[in-house]
Structure 1
C-alpha cells in the first residue's frame, strides 16, 4: 500500500511538472508583461517620489539659508551694540578714575569737600547709570551666546539638509539608470505592450465613452468591479474633473495640468473638488479607508503594491483614469490590462 502511494505521488509530481513546462505561451507573455509593468511602475514611482523629496528639501535649504542670514545679522547687530557698550563703560571708568583723583586732591579743601557732599544725589544717579550699564552688558553677552548657539544649530541643520538632498539625488539617479536598463533590455516586449495597449484602447474606446456617459448621468453600474449603487454627485464631479486632463503628459513629480505623475494627478483632481489628500501614492494609500476590490465603486482610488507604487481613479466597469509613465499621457485603462491590487475610499461620508 505504501509503495503504491509513493508511485502515485511521483506520477502526480511528474504530471504537475509537465503542466508547468507546457504552460500557455500567451499566459506566460501576459504574466511577463504585468511583471514588467510593475517594475517600470515601481521605478517611476521611486523617481517621482525622489523628485517630490528633492523639491521639499531644496525649499527647506532655501528657508534655512535665509534663516541663517537673518541669524547672522542678529548676532552681528548685537555684537556691534556690545562693542559700543564696552567703549561707553571704558570711557566711564576713565571718567571715574579722573573724578576720584580730583576728589582726593580737593579733600583737603573745605570748599571742595563741601561741594562733594552737596552733590550726593548726583553721585547716586551716576552710580545707578553705571549699574544699569553693567547689567545691560551682562545680559547682552548672554543673549549673544544664545544667538550664536542658535546660529550653529541652524548651520548644522543646513548641512544635514544638504547631505540628505545629495542622497536623494543619488537615489534618483540610480533609479533612472535602472529604468533605462529595464527599457533597453525589454525593447521587444515594450513594443508588444504598446501595440496591445493601442489595440485595446481602440477596441474599448466606445465602451469607455459609455462608462463616462453613465458617470455624467449617475446611472447604476452592474459589473464585477462596481456596486449597484448610483454614482454619487461628488464622485461624478471628481471623475469629470479627471476627464479634463486626459492627454496631459506624464511628468516625474508633476502636480499641475502642465504634467502629472500618478499621485500628483489624484491630489490635483481631489483638490479641485475641495478635498485634500496626501502628495505621494504611499501616503494616499495609508490615508484612505481600505475596501475589498469587490466593493470598489466610481470615485475610489485603486493601488498597485503595498506600500503603493502606483495609484489611479476608478470610474466604473473595471476602468480607471491614470497617469501611467514617462512618454505616455493621462488615459483611461481597463483593469484586465493592468490589474490593480487594492482599493481605498476617499468619499467615506458620501
Structure 2
C-alpha cells in the first residue's frame, strides 16, 4: 500500500470504499445470522470485518453486535453523516437491531436478508425507522484533507 492509499483508508471515504469493495466481493453470499466471514455476514459482522481490515489495532473491538457499536468509545454520534460513518437503526420498539456503513448522502451498505446490498437512504422501509450516525474517532482530519486533494488531482490527471 503506498502512502496515498494508506491515508485514504484512514478517512471516512476510505471506509466507504472498502465497504463497497467487500460488498461487491461477497454479493452472492447469503446472509448468515452471526456471520463474520466472507462465507456470509450478518449486519454487525459485515461492519466489523470492514473496520477490522482497515484498523487492525482495534480488530477485537469491532467483533461485536449492534449494541456494541452504540456503546463503543471508539465512535462518536454525529448529526450529519459522511461516507464511512455507521448508520444504526432502532426497531420500532426502540431496541437497536441493524447497522450499515454510509457510502454517500444517498446510499449506505450492509448485510440484509438477501446478503450484502447497497440501500438508498430514502428507501421507504429503512427511512421510516429511527436511526443515528456514529463516526469512528480514528479517522484523521489531516488524512481527509490529503485524500481530498489526492482524489482531486487524480480526477484532473
Is TM (by shorter chain) over 0.5?
A: yes
Aligned residue number for residue 345 of structure 1? 135
Name the CA distance, whole Å, in 1 between partners of 2:32 and 2:116: 10
Q: Say whether residues 1:285 and 2:70 are aligned partners.
A: yes
Structure possessing the higher radius of gyration over alpha carbons:
1
Shift of 1:233: 4.8
Native 8 Å contact 2:86 2:133 kept in 1? yes
Native 8 Å contact 1:261 1:323 kept in 2? yes
Residue correspondences, number: 116
Measured on the aligned residues, the alpha-carbon RMSD in Å equals 2.0
Q: Secondary structure at the match of 1:316?
A: coil
Shift of 1:239: 1.9
Native 8 Å contact 1:291 1:345 kept in 2? yes
Q: Say whether residues 1:262 and 2:43 are aligned partners.
A: yes
Q: Report the structure, 1 or 2, having the larger strand content.
A: 2
Structure 2 residue ranges without an equivalent (≥5): 1-7, 141-157
Name the CA distance, whole Å, in 1 between partners of 2:22 and 2:14: 13
Native 8 Å contact 2:12 2:82 kept in 1? no
| Runs of 4+ with deviation above 6 angstroms | none
Shift of 1:341: 1.2
Name the CA distance, whole Å, in 2 between partners of 1:345 and 1:258: 27
Which of these residues, 121, 132, 141, is aligned with residue 335 of structure 1?
121
Q: Report the structure, 1 or 2, having the larger helix content.
A: 1
TM-score (norm 1): 0.31
Q: Which has the higher contact order (CA 8 A, sep 6+)?
A: 2
Aligned residue number for residue 147 of structure 2? none
Task: After TM superposition, list the pairs within 5 Å mapping 1:56-205 onto structure 2.
Answer: none
Task: After TM superposition, list the pairs within 5 Å mapping 1:218-297 onto structure 2.
Answer: 233-246=10-23, 247=27, 248-274=29-55, 275-276=58-59, 277-287=62-72, 288-292=75-79, 295-297=80-82
Native 8 Å contact 1:289 1:348 kept in 2? no
Shift of 1:307: 3.9
Native 8 Å contact 1:299 1:347 kept in 2? no
Task: After TM superposition, list the pairs within 5 Å mapping 1:301-312 onto structure 2.
Answer: 301-305=86-90, 306-312=94-100
Shift of 1:321: 0.5
Q: Secondary structure at the match of 1:283?
A: helix
Which of these residues, 108, 111, 130, is aligned with residue 323 of structure 1?
111
Shift of 1:262: 0.1
Deviation per CA, 1:37-82, whole angstroms, max 9, x where unpaired? Answer: xxxxxxxxxxxxxxxxxxxxxxxxxxxxxxxxxxxxxxxxxxxxxx
